[in-house]
Amino acid sequence: MAISFIEQSICPLCREKILSLEEMYSFPSFTQNAKDPLYIFSDSSVHYKCLYKHVHGKEALQFAEVFFVRTKIENRKCVVDNKLITRYDDYLFIDLLTSDSDEELFNFNFITINKRNISKWIDRSRFIKVAKEFKTNNKWQDISSFKFLDFLIILMTDI
């Protein structure tokens, strides 16, 4: 969830200060892809008025809601065996990779997998192929030093 300071934090949409809790919405860090049009919302606090005016505002809210639901402890069920993942070290959550539903990578958004089951995941090879193509086609950009999509590809490959 975004960390905001009243009268100090800046809304990334209008570039003005956020003056009260009542006027802002705080997004979780739901995507790591800086090339995605929803990246501006990820881990940010925005004015409600700006959010509702923005062309991608409603879509960002929908994806944030999916993120919140899928990351609840009771919903941390592995895509392979549908069992609840109780050990933190076994938990892998793939957040929003792309908001473009025409991209094949879209099918891998918001997946939870037990790391012990990666080798059993029937879509593992397809994920690796599609993720590599997405990167090759220059549709992914990391801002931080942690390369999230590279990490996922390596994790899925090194089984």
Residue 26 β-bridge partners: 45
Mean pLDDT of 52-61: 97
Mean pLDDT of 150-158: 95
Q: What is the pLDDT of residue 1?
A: 62
Assess whether pLDDT exceeds 80 at residue 4.
Answer: no
Q: Convert the pLDDT of each residue in 91-148 to its tens digit.
A: 999 999 999 999 999 999 999 999 999 999 999 999 999 999 999 999 999 999 999 9
- Domain ranges across the chain: 21-157
Kindly compute the dihedral angle of the four CA atoms of residues 155, 157, 158, 159, in this order, to the nearest 10 degrees: 100
Q: Are 45 and 18 in contact (CB under 8 A)?
A: yes
Q: From 76, 96, 95, select the one nearest 86 (Cα to Cα).
A: 76
